């Protein structure tokens, strides 16, 4: 059956649509021409948001110029959490529907998500030094984000810990789903515990506690970070698919010569 065509009528199982939409060949045909535009938009928005925030937005009335690091720190934190949520979703698809693109996506999300989490921790430490007098405190939010970083590293390590890679995918998927409980802890930690970390300044349900002149560059930078994350993951998935195709072709050629 052609990989691009579904049988006539509605598929017998809901998983059939997921397999159809997540087909690696279809993914490559959409991703490859889209990737340069996605990367360009990400670069443009990141540069515009950060330059606007650092050069033209006003300084915070309490924290002064030290608060400008939020144009990197806050987007990195949001992307780190969103990346782990995507990792958990891919893991769920892998365990329930067993389609291979979910495994590839989860494997490639891990290193990118870990990188953004590391950026969040480093920028947060640099921000904390002038505010708290220390680069690190065992604050509830900082600690839960550090746990998120270790979850990413654990996922990366588990995939590579087994000779049979399918076993690594299953073990890593279980870890990703179990670790998803940390996401609401990160979000609500400043409300559940008394912490040094400031509360949420942006609210989608109530009034935000940030000047509009600071909010605009922050949102632009955040959108750029999200697009950068997507572009990196898509590029890694495309490279992984090509690598697997090349390995399969070389193996087939070796078997023919033998």
pLDDT of residue 35: 94
Distance of CA 138 to the CA centre of its chain: 24
pLDDT of residue 26: 81
C-alpha separations of 204 from 39, 84, 219, 225, 235 in Å: 27, 21, 13, 19, 31
pLDDT of residue 4: 45
Q: Quick one: pLDDT band at residue 51, thresholds 50, 70, 90? A: very high
* C-beta of residue 67 within 8 angstroms of C-beta of residue 128: no
Mean per-residue pLDDT for 116-122?
Answer: 96
Residue-wise pLDDT for 182-236, tens only, equals: 999 998 887 777 665 666 666 555 556 677 888 889 999 999 999 999 999 999 9
Q: Record the pTM.
A: 0.85
Q: pLDDT above 90 covers what percent of the chain?
A: 49
Q: Quick one: pLDDT band at residue 172, thresholds 50, 70, 90? A: very high
- Domain ranges in the chain are 33-199+212-252
d(CA 19, CA 209): 44
Domain 33-199+212-252 listed as CATH 1.20.120? yes
pLDDT of residue 208: 60
Instruction: Please name the residue that has the structure tokens 């959409």.
Output: 30
Angle, helices 24-51/70-97, rounded to nearest 10 degrees: 170
């Amino acid at each position: 059956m052609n990989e691009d065509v579904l049988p006539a009528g509605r598929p017998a199982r809901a998983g059939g649509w997921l397999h159809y939409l997540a087909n690696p060949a279809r993914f490559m045909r959409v991703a490859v021409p889209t990737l340069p535009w996605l990367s360009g938009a990400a670069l443009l928005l990141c540069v515009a948001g950060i330059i606007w925030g650092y050069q033209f937005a006003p300084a915070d009335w309490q924290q002064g110029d030290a608060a400008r690091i939020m144009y990197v720190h806050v987007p990195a934190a949001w992307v780190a959490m969103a990346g782990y949520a995507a990792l958990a979703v891919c893991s769920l698809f892998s365990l329930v529907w067993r389609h291979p693109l979910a495994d590839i996506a989860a494997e490639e999300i891990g290193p990118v998500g870990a990188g953004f989490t590391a950026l969040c921790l480093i920028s947060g430490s640099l921000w904390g030094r002038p505010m708290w007098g220390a680069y690190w405190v065992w604050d509830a939010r900082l600690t839960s984000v550090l746990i998120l970083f270790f979850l990413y590293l654990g996922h990366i390590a588990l995939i590579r810990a087994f000779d049979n890679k399918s076993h690594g995918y299953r073990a890593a998927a279980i870890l990703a789903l179990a670790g998803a409980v940390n996401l609401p802890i990160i979000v609500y930690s400043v409300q559940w515990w008394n912490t040094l970390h400031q509360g949420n300044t942006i609210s989608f349900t109530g009034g935000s506690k940030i000047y509009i002149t600071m909010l605009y560059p922050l949102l632009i930078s955040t959108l750029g970070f999200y697009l950068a994350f997507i572009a990196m993951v898509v590029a890694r998935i495309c490279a992984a698919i090509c690598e697997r195709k090349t390995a399969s072709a070389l193996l087939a050629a070796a078997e023919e010569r033998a």
